[in-house]
A and B are shown apart, each in its own frame.
Chain A
Amino acid sequence: DAGVTQSPTHLIKTRGQQVTLRCSPKSGHDTVSWYQQALGQGPQFIFQYYEEEERQRGNFPDRFSGHQFPNYSSELNVNALLLGDSALYLCASSSTTKTYNEQFFGPGTRLTVL
């Protein structure tokens, strides 16, 4: 059973560029959440997708957008990159059919903005 997968593993961009990160959820999961984790910090919630719609959103600007596809996979897009966007981006999947929303995390994408 494949767990949560993310691509790419590492990415280097320059300020002002745009980036797309991808995530495939764990088999049987229908909900995908994205988190930003700066060095030495806990993960910060960006948004959550369910049934191809953004269900909840954290305190992130509109430069951060996403999408969920019919197969439950998801993309995170960040426009007009800033140096402060450098972080580990984690995707987590969960299932609405479970009694609680245990999040299964992917290995993350390390984004460096120069």
Chain B
Amino acid sequence: GQNIDQPTEMTATEGAIVQINCTYQTSGFNGLFWYQQHAGEAPTFLSYNVLDGLEEKGRFSSFLSRSKGYSYLLLKELQMKDSASYLCAVNLKSYIPTFGRGTSLIVHP
């Protein structure tokens, strides 16, 4: 089976940096997605990592280590609007993304 683990909930302060980890054990791997989902809304695409290393995109960065089955999403200069659920999804060999349960991030003043 596929196993994708993320912390259930994290809290952080406005202006700070937070790292959301994701570990995976899957049969097949073609890449890893991160999505942001505000309450009651659709997931929106943040990043896609295929190769090992860090990819930076504005305040958000995503890291992948395929040998360790590990990824993280780094959010800098946190804003209140960053309060949302962050979904890690592994793109299997079938190119069907398998999602973790999501990490609920609460940003407080």
Contact = CB atoms under 8 A, between A and B. Distances in A.
Contact of B99 (A40, A42, A101): A42
Give the interface centre of B42, B50, B98 by most chain A CB atoms within 10 Å: B42
A41 interface: yes
Chain B binding surface, main DSSP class: strand
Contacts, number: 53
Interface stretch (B11-19, B61-69, B73-81, B87-95): B87-95
Contact of B101 (A35, A42, A58, A103): A42
Interface in A28-77: 33, 35, 40-45, 48, 56, 58
Interface of A: 4, 33, 35, 40-45, 48, 56, 58, 90, 100-108
Interface of B: 4, 30-31, 33, 35, 41-45, 48, 50, 87, 89, 91, 94-102
